Structure 1
Amino acid sequence: MAEYKTLLFATDFSEGASSAVDQALSLAQLTGARLHLYHVITELADKRRRFIPADVIDTFITEITRHAQEDMQAFHDRHFAKASFPVTTEVEVGTGYEDILAEADKIKADLIILGTHGRTGIEKVLVGSTAERVVRNSKVPVLTVRD
């Protein structure tokens, strides 16, 4: 088995992410690696925000970040509170897969773990696939877990 010291688990708190929890738990327990839970708030990437006053955007960013941090804490408590290995968390505002890759570089992750939604057809074309982009552009191995 590869030697893992740091695992990056990128989550959107969806069922697909929950399906990947077992894999993240197992790998961290087997290897003793630190598990870093990471969430990117992407709702703010919409180009229409340029028409919204800056003070409104700042308030919105503060509120949505607070809610995401609460969601992260709940996700951590539900799945990782009794972990026998180090678990850290991070919530950031960003645009998606680039932020996941940057976080992997920043924390020197040996593996990225993410759940996938299994979108197909026009939905995949319109929505895109964060997991696919991470896989295509990552410098480190990526474990995807389908929901």
Structure 2
Amino acid sequence: MFERILFPTDFSEPSMKVLDYIPALHGVGTREIILVHVIDSKDIGLGASGGQGFLGTVSNQETEARQGLQTEVQHRIIDTRRALEKQGFEVTVLTPAGNPGKEIVAAADAEGASLIVLGSHGRSNIRDRLLGTVSEYVIKNANQPVLVIKRGKESGR
């Protein structure tokens, strides 16, 4: 039923909590995990603006910032990929740049995902809100079912 799962992560504790739930989906037919980390376009802009005293165009600075972020992401994603592969999943890794919510929805469509499983930060100041803005965007705009793993009470948050 859920052969291809899209697992977006920002490597935070709430997003990595999804790893506890993915093995249970193996029994319902999950064979492939599409591991996605979106390099937020805001982070690229911040990295590029940090080089104001250096030679080069803003375009070059943005390219260098993007490459630096992608290198960092690749190093962090290797362990996650290996852990999933050891559990018998085929893993595809995507690291698009842009708006996280939009890129997650676009990746799910482009990759033919049958389910999106994501963790929620719940960073809202309003106590009753459980989901973060990326989770909310994905839920409202995804063409696939979305399973949201909210952070647990054991973390004290």
Corresponding residue number in structure 2 for 1:116? 120
* Structure having the larger proportion of residues in helix: 1
AA of the residue aligned to 1:137:
N
Give unpaired runs (5+ residues) of structure 1: none
Query: What TM-score, normalized to structure 1?
Result: 0.83
Task: For residues 108-143 of structure 1, give each alpha carbon's deviation from its aligned partner in whole angstroms, at most 9, with x where no partner exists.
Answer: 1110010011223269x9xx6100110011111000
Please tell me whether the aligned partners of residues 45 and 94 of structure 1 are also in contact (alpha carbons under 8 angstroms). Answer: no
Q: Which residue in the other structure is 2:44 paired with?
A: 44
Q: Map of 1:28-39 to 2, 5 A cutoff?
A: 28-39=26-37
* AA of the residue aligned to 2:67: T
Pick closer, same or farther for the CA change 1:121–1:107 going to 2, 3 Å: same
Match of 2:155 in 1: none
Contact 2:45/2:62 (<8 A) preserved: no
Matches within 5 A, 1:73-92: 73-77=78-82, 79-92=83-96
Whether 2:70 is the aligned partner of 1:65: answer yes
Residues 14 and 121 in structure 2, CA contact (< 8 A), matched pair in contact too: yes
1:55–1:45 CA distance, 2 compared to 1 (3 A):
closer
Give unpaired runs (5+ residues) of structure 2: 152-157
Secondary structure in structure 1 of the residue aligned to 2:117: strand
Give the aligned partner of residue 130 of structure 1. Answer: 134
Task: Kindly indicate whether structure 1 or structure 2 has the higher relative contact order, using CA contacts under 8 Å at least 6 residues apart.
Answer: 1
Residue deviations 1:80-131 (CA, integer Å, cap 9, x gap): 24121212211111111111011000111110010011223269x9xx6100
Tell me how far 1:75 sits from its aligned partner.
2.4
